[in-house]
Amino acid sequence: MRLCLVSLVCVLTLACGPAASSPPAPETPKTTSYLRDVQPLVERSCRSCHTAGGVAPLVLDTPEQVAALGPTLWSAIASNRMPPFFAAPSCNSYVDDPRLTDAEKTLFKTWVDEGSPMGDPAEARHAPTPQLPVVRHDIELSIGARFDVRKMNDTDNYQCFVLNPANTADVMVKGYEVIPGNLAVVHHVLAYVVTPDQVSQLEALDAQDPKPGYACQTGGVGITGAVRNQIAGWVPGQYPSRMPADTALVLPAGSRLVMQLHYNLNALADPAVSPFDETKLALETVPMNTLRKGQILPMLKPNLAIAAGDTNSVQVTEVPVPASFRNATIFRAMGHAHQLATQVKLEVVKADGSTTCVLDNPRWDFNWQRDYTLKTPVTLVQGDKLRITCVYDNGQANQPFIAGVQQTPRAVAWGESSFDEMCMTYLTFAQ
């Protein structure tokens, strides 16, 4: 009788025997798709660098590669480290700006949060992948040998190399590509034209040292006026470069090039880093007078005084535009500073006190010193001045490391070492 009562209770209460299984919860619908939503963003803003053989370390050629790195990519996007285009949009507008809009960032984050769904191939969308500039190698030059960079001091070395383009007629340079031979130690490359009347002076400098090139750690190249005839340049993050619009640089027949290389030797603390370099330079040329004459000129504040411990050292200078450059047009600008800098800004100050912002890099990154081509070029007129502003953080938290040891803040001035500072912009003009 007791067994029957128990059985009856079990039937009435459903409390005995194995528990009934609950139906699975419905899966939350996915609102995003890689193929429909994210793929166009990757193709437009990432693929030009993040591809097999590209300049970036991560390869994003397939949907699977992107999905596997989704959280990592979102972290770089959210912090505005990627894409590495740091010119403030509030200053000016620039050609080939790869940055994502706020709506596109939200879309990417939602896709990652939803588990990076691939989506329906039938809905796949694409965007054109911006191509990095391609430079034809009409003239190919090299520093001439494997150069041992261990010279000058423990942290830096400046060496100038003489290159002979061997052009028997005047030509114009439409594009150039600097190919660093040792990315771990090459800090910057600057190449200048030395006109035929100064070639003997250049050769005399070169003959002073039996090794390739000659020491030029004073900031110039030892040839008067050469810095006003820049033909090429490279800093970390720089791609092959083409002159904007219908402009080109002049390379007279019988000239030589002097190429200054700054080697940052801090990386040699790692025994795996080679101490040898053989940097190369390629030039794309067109016949003389087929394009407008362009020129690359530096704008700088040389007398820096950055106090030890100052976390917001603002350095400003203004220079009247030379009469020869009135009615010239600025097509492109690039900042240059070292490791303490936090901002580099260039403005045109009008006679009435108003300003036109050319370039503002408010989050300076020593490793991404690229140039920026203006969507709307800026023309200089009578009474204009150029103003450059550089801001530095010389506090303890922002000190560089040497041989793995973070340095103590010290007074910093203008200097050639990576552990000194500079405040410069390079402007590409056409006249």
- State whether residue 74 is helix, strand or coil: helix
| Whether residue 283 is found in the same domain as residue 306 | no
In the numeric block, which tokens belong to residue 21? 């299984």
Find, among 62, 113, 102, 61, the residue nearest to 80 by Cα: 102
Band the pLDDT of 133: cuts 50, 70, 90: confident
Q: Given this model, what pLDDT does residue 218 score?
A: 56
Q: What is the count of structural domains for the chain?
A: 3
pLDDT at 5: 34
> Distance between CA 431 and CA 422 in Å, rounded?
28
Among 371, 366, 325, smallest CA distance to 348 is for: 325
- The pLDDT, as a whole number, for residue 253 is 97
The C-alpha atoms of residue 168 and residue 179 are separated, in whole angstroms, by 25
pTM: 0.80
Contacts of 405 (CB under 8 A, 6+ apart): none
Q: Could you tell me if residue 79 is inside a domain?
A: yes
Q: What are phi and psi of 128, to 5 degrees?
A: -60, 135
pLDDT of residue 24: 58
Per-residue pLDDT of 178-205, as tens digits, reads: 999 998 999 889 999 999 999 999 999 9
How far apart (Å, rounded) are the C-alpha atoms in residues 429 and 293? 9
pLDDT of residue 13: 39
CA-CA distances (angstroms) from residue 306 to 27, 160, 298, 409?
59, 29, 21, 10
| 332 plus 213 within the same structural domain | no
Q: Which single residue is written with the structure tokens 């740091």?
A: 86
Q: Domain residues for 364? A: 293-431
In a domain, 17, yes or no: no
Residues 188 and 321 in one domain: no
Determine contact, residues 261/214, Cβ cutoff 8 Å: no
Last residue of one domain, picked from the residues 236, 260, 290: 290
Summarize pLDDT for 409-418 with one digit per residue, the tens. Answer: 999 999 878 8
Band of the pLDDT at 367, cuts 50, 70, 90?
A: confident
Distance CA 132, CA 11 (A): 75
Whether residue 396 is contained in a domain is answered as yes
79-131 pLDDT, tens digit per residue, is: 988 998 999 999 999 998 999 999 999 999 999 999 999 999 999 999 987 77
In which element (H, E) is residue 248 found?
Answer: strand 247-251
* 22 falls within a domain: no
CATH number, domain containing residue 273: 2.60.120.310
Beta bridge partners of 89: none
The CATH number for 317's domain is 2.60.120.230
Question: Are 273 and 284 within one domain?
Answer: yes
Same-domain check for residues 155 and 282: yes
The predicted pLDDT at position 318 comes to 96
In a 3-state reduction of DSSP, which class is residue 45? Answer: helix
Computed from CA positions of residues 217, 221, 227, 233, in that sequence, does the dihedral angle turn out positive or negative?
A: negative
**pLDDT over 90, % of the chain:** 68
Average pLDDT over residues 5-15: 37
- Structural domain contains residue 152: yes
